[in-house]
Chain A
Amino acid sequence: MDEFASRKYPIQEHIAFQRRTWVVERIGWVALVVIVLAALLGLFGGGPLSRQTAGSDEMKVQYDRFQRVTKLASFTFLFAPAANAERRLHLNREFQDAFEITGIFPTPLQSAFDDGGLGMTFSTEANKESQIVIWAHPRRYGSINIDARADDGSGFNFRVFVYP
């Protein structure tokens, strides 16, 4: 009797079903490996595929393109040297809505809601590159469109995806 024929005795077998199960099992294993590899590469945040730089020479931001809800993330803003020692950074309302900011370093001299978003003024060194780091927890999942603008109004958009 063919090994893959269903027996009726001593048990009622469903070999066709069982074989399908084995196939699904193997597909599942491949899926698990793909998930682990994707995680290693940073597709779920924190890895080479995730870490990105956006912006121009005047102002850049380093951030994680993929983030996870409640997991602390950093946004590092880099300003090119300028004559003015005070820098302004403006972030849109969507950023304010989606992130619970736990730290801004250096602490802004002034922080206000202006121009429909979060406006911050920082004390920096004139004629030197300066760096501002914002630590924040994403509070909602999905795609978040962030708009960042510097003093002179130059700015850029970047997008992060937050996993649930």
Chain B
Amino acid sequence: MDSVIRACIVYFVLWAIIRISGRRTLGEMTAFDFILFLIIGGSTQRAITGQDYSLTNALILVATFVTIEIALSLLELKSPWLRRVFNSTPSLLVENGNLMTARLRKARLVEENILEAARRLHGLERLDQIKFAILEASGEITIVPAKQQVRRDTSGENDNDRKSRMPEHGHPLSQ
């Protein structure tokens, strides 16, 4: 009985703390964040198992965690509100090249975070090359490039093959 209650408490307390810490932590996980999560896991592990290292206890705990997961996923299917509560909701950060500064501040992000995502995902350099930047529910930033900008930068190429824009492959038309 104890084990099930412990597992439930730990599950929801951990969930609440991670949710409070904000999705920024989840999406933008650094090497140190990863270590931090390991430490969090290690410190809660003893509280969950107590002094009972038996196989039965391990089975009870695993069964409880998986049951909670399944139950929550079923509840989320039924209720969009619960889905938002548990998984957060996506929101726009850049709209047609315009930075939504108040939202960024609330989400604890700065312009550089968006530009970094733009470089990483699409090789974009400037804010005006971004049509939409979205902070996804998962905590990642996704970028929708502004179409005209991409065409102009590739100077006349009409395919969308990004490889042809990379300098190391040379410019197919200039050869």
- The stretch among B69-77, B98-106, B119-127, B149-157 that forms the contact with chain A is B98-106
Convert A1-31 into 0s and 1s, putting 1 for each residue whose CB lies closer than 8 angstroms to a CB of B: 1011001001101110111011011001101
Chain B, Cβ-Cβ closest to A19:
B106
Q: Give, as a whole number of angstroms, the nearest-CB distance from B46 to chain A.
A: 9
CA distance A58 to B67 in the complex (A): 57
CA distance A28 to B16 in the complex (A): 9
Q: Give, as a whole number of angstroms, the nearest-CB distance from A159 to chain B.
A: 25
Of B50, B51, B92, B107, which is within 8 A of A7 by CB? Answer: B92
Q: Give, as a whole number of angstroms, the nearest-CB distance from A4 to chain B.
A: 7
Convert A79-95 into 0s and 1s, putting 1 for each residue whose CB lies closer than 8 angstroms to a CB of B: 00000000000000000
> What interface size band does chain A fall in?
20 to 34
Q: Judging by beta carbons under 8 Å apart, are A32 and B106 in contact?
A: no
CA distance A43 to B103 in the complex (A): 37
Interface: B84 (CB within 8 A): yes
Of B16, B84, B134, which is within 8 A of A17 by CB? Answer: B84
Given contacts A3-B102, A13-B91, A28-B17, 9 further A-B contacts (CB under 8 A): A3-B100, A4-B102, A7-B95, A11-B91, A11-B92, A17-B84, A19-B106, A24-B20, A28-B19
Our count of residue pairs bridging A and B at CB distance below 8 angstroms stands at: 48
CA distance A157 to B90 in the complex (A): 57
Chain B, Cβ-Cβ closest to A28:
B20
Interface: B144 (CB within 8 A): yes
Report chain B residues within 8 Å CB of A131: none
Q: Give, as a whole number of angstroms, the nearest-CB distance from A32 to chain B.
A: 7
Q: Give, as a whole number of angstroms, the nearest-CB distance from A14 to chain B.
A: 5
Q: Give, as a whole number of angstroms, the nearest-CB distance from A34 to chain B.
A: 13
Interface: A70 (CB within 8 A): yes
Report chain B residues within 8 Å CB of A19: 106
Interface: B22 (CB within 8 A): yes
Q: Give, as a whole number of angstroms, the nearest-CB distance from B7 to chain A.
A: 14
CA distance A17 to B132 in the complex (A): 21
Q: Give, as a whole number of angstroms, the nearest-CB distance from B2 to chain A.
A: 10
CA distance A31 to B51 in the complex (A): 29
Centre residue among B16, B92, B95 by max chain A CB count within 10 A: B92
8 cross-chain pairs, A with B, having the tightest CB-CB distances, nearest first: A28-B20, A14-B89, A22-B106, A11-B90, A3-B100, A3-B102, A10-B132, A18-B91
Q: Give, as a whole number of angstroms, the nearest-CB distance from A119 to chain B.
A: 30
Q: Judging by beta carbons under 8 Å apart, are A17 and B17 in contact?
A: no
Chain A, Cβ-Cβ closest to B105:
A22
CA distance A3 to B96 in the complex (A): 13
Q: Judging by beta carbons under 8 Å apart, are B90 and A25 in contact?
A: no
CA distance A18 to B132 in the complex (A): 18
CA distance A1 to B92 in the complex (A): 13
Q: Judging by beta carbons under 8 Å apart, are A29 and B84 in contact?
A: no
14 CB contacts below 8 A, A to B, read A3-B101, A7-B92, A10-B144, A13-B91, A15-B91, A18-B88, A18-B91, A21-B88, A21-B89, A28-B16, A28-B20, A29-B20, A32-B20, A70-B51
